[in-house]
Amino acid sequence: MESLKRTKIKALLQMEPGVEVLAKGWVRTKRGNKQVKFIALNDGSTINNIQIVANTELFDEELIKRITTGASLAVKGDLVESQGSGQAVEIQAKEIEVLGECDPMRFPLQKKDTTLEFLRSVAHMRLRTNTFGAVLRIRNAMAFAIHKFFNEKGFVYLHTPLITESDAEGAGDMFQVTTMDLKNIPLDKKGNVDFSKDFFGKKTSLTVSGQLEGELGATAVGEIYTFGPTFRAENSNTPRHLAEFWMIEPEMAFYDINDNMALAEEFVKYLVQYALDNCMDDLQFLNDKYDDGLIERMRSVLGIAFQKVTYTEAVEILEKAIADGVKFEYPVHWGTDFQSEHERYLVEKHFQKPVILIDFPKDIKAFYMKQNPDGRTVRGMDVLFPKIGEIIGGSEREADLEKLETRIDELGMSRKNLEWYIDTRRYGSVPHSGFGLGFERLLLFVTGMANIRDVIPFPRTPKNAEF
Ligand code: 4AD
Ligand code: MG
């Protein structure tokens, strides 16, 4: 059998009949009668299965019995025009080898329960399902498209550290990194933890954002982007939060907030278009199975300009909606951060298109955002999407040394730990901007999945780090 080279099922399904082929994959289903068995084989290269037709006269009864859902096979045979509907070609099997058996009594995907919730409890095996095959292929296509987009624009892919001393977002929800013996923590004379004895000689954590180092890169080579894991120990058990997620953070010298908004809009539209152009089989499957508005919603964000609106205007819109009888769980007034329900109202009900919110109260945003002349707002921008809410957060950065230092002091942050960052404003400071796209939030939008745990292979959330 091995003298023949394996062809992936995606390619087989596009080939002309009349050739001998070798296929390998996992059995999705087996049906048929005494004379003939039909085996649906999938190898992950496509959502579609190839049908194997096995004439039982040619094979041992024992072998046929070992072909069960989940088992892995190598099949040699002739690619022929399919008799049945639903596929153009099928394989008339001549040799079948069971590479790995799969006990039907124990295989978790054999169970009737195939809800997404159940599949999360067998996340190590759920990758074998059609749903997760589709999600993984779309995830891969989006990662590739992100690199392609920035590469074509001449951005430099910058690798920023995962272990860091700084809390870039100032939210304080960081995972600590230590090699200290937790049962025997060294203390200093005052009784505080003596981090000088720790591995790095200081207190360190997993990064919540690569932005601060990204700014060092942008103010050196002009335009950079990061694309890596990000960690947040916020205890939010929502369908939109992970403790470990991936973020893409472009940072551009000489960009003001308008340039920044234009890039963000071009970027997400490019990614949605790329998915439509390259992942249609998988999108159609997810559209049919989980979300019949998926493909239409994706198309709907492409043709139109995103709506720009200031935070202050948005508060007025929401207050008017409340006065008109719209009910929200959380209150809205100037100075509070919007909840996802407010963001979705603006996008889905009021404007009916993606929204870019700008000019936020400075107290709800990070220290690095450029301060507006009004003294109370900053030049931040959040891109809001239907069904998701915030998908991108970014800003123009405060480029003025004095204003930046004053803000750091006002917030009671340590200037000492940030001297390296502040140096960008001391030596050849330039206007610059950037943003962060949550990779899994993007994937929620382009897969139609409702829960962020279902767009990352191995989700990390409060009380869950299995697999
Ligand atoms: O708005 P955030 O916190 O912005 C930053 O981290 C900036 N440093 C970005 C920048 O300007 N370079 O996070 C950016 C995006 C959010 O809009 C959201 O899409 C995603 O990251 N995000 C999360 N995704 C999943 N789980 C979480 N816990 C997330 N927190 C943020
Ligand atoms: Mg944000």
Concatenated DSSP letters of 348-389:
IIIISS-EEEEEEEGGGS-TTBPBPTTSSEEEEEEEEETTTE
Task: For residue 330, give the CATH number of its domain.
Answer: 3.30.930.10
Are 41 and 26 in contact, with CB atoms under 8 Å apart? Answer: yes
Our answer on whether the CB atom of 350 is closer than 6 Å to any ligand 1 atom is no
Q: 227 in a domain, yes or no?
A: yes
On whether residue 197 sits in a domain, the answer given is no
Residue 464: per-residue pLDDT: 94
Q: How many structural domains comprise the chain? A: 2
pLDDT digits over 129-183, tens only?
999 999 999 999 999 999 999 999 999 999 999 999 988 888 779 999 999 999 9
Residue 24, domain CATH? 2.40.50.140
The minimum-distance atom of ligand 1 relative to the CA of 247 is: 21
Is 59 found in the same domain as 166?
no
Task: Residue 299: give the domain boundaries.
Answer: 126-173+208-454
Task: With CA atoms as reference, report the closest residue to 385 among 358, 427, 351, 426.
Answer: 351
Nearest CA, atom 21, ligand 1 = 438
| Per-residue confidence (pLDDT) for residue 111, from 0 to 100 | 67
- Over residues 27-56, mean pLDDT: 96
Q: How many Å lie between the centroid of ligand 2 and the Cα of residue 340?
A: 11
Reported pTM: 0.96
* Same domain? 82 vs 228: no
106-115, 294-303, 335-344, 385-394: least confident range: 106-115
Same-domain status, 96 and 146: no
Q: Are 29 and 69 in contact (CB under 8 A)?
A: yes
Report, as an integer, the average pLDDT of 424-452: 98
Domain termination site, one of 83, 100, 117: 100
Report whether pLDDT(195) > 90: yes
Say which DSSP state 76 is in.
Answer: E
- Residues 6 or more apart whose CB falls under 8 angstroms from that of 281 comprise 46, 47, 48
Q: Ligand 1 in contact with 211 (CB < 6 A)?
A: yes
**404 neighbors 398 (Cβ within 8 angstroms):** yes
- Nearest by Cα to 97 from 74, 113, 76, 77: 74
CA of 6 to the centre of ligand 1 (A): 43
Q: Are residues 148 and 237 in the same domain?
A: yes
Are 38 and 31 in contact by the 8 Å Cβ rule? The answer is: yes
Indicate if 91 and 48 belong to the same structural domain.
Answer: yes
CA of 393 to the centre of ligand 2 (A): 4
Is 441 touching ligand 1 by the criterion CB < 6 Å?
Answer: yes
pLDDT at 91: 98
pLDDT value at 291 more than 80? yes
Q: pLDDT digits over 218-242, tens only?
A: 999 999 999 999 999 988 889 999 9
Q: Are 292 and 427 in a shared domain? A: yes
- Are residues 410 and 315 part of one domain? yes
Same domain? For 344 and 439 the reply is yes
* Inside any domain, residue 187: no
Strands across the sheet containing 355-361: 156-157, 223-231, 244-253, 432-438, 389-396, 377-385, 355-361, 307-310
Same domain, 93 and 130: no
Q: What does the pLDDT average to over 91-115?
A: 91
Question: Is the domain of 236 the same as that of 89?
Answer: no
Residues 379 and 265 in one domain: yes
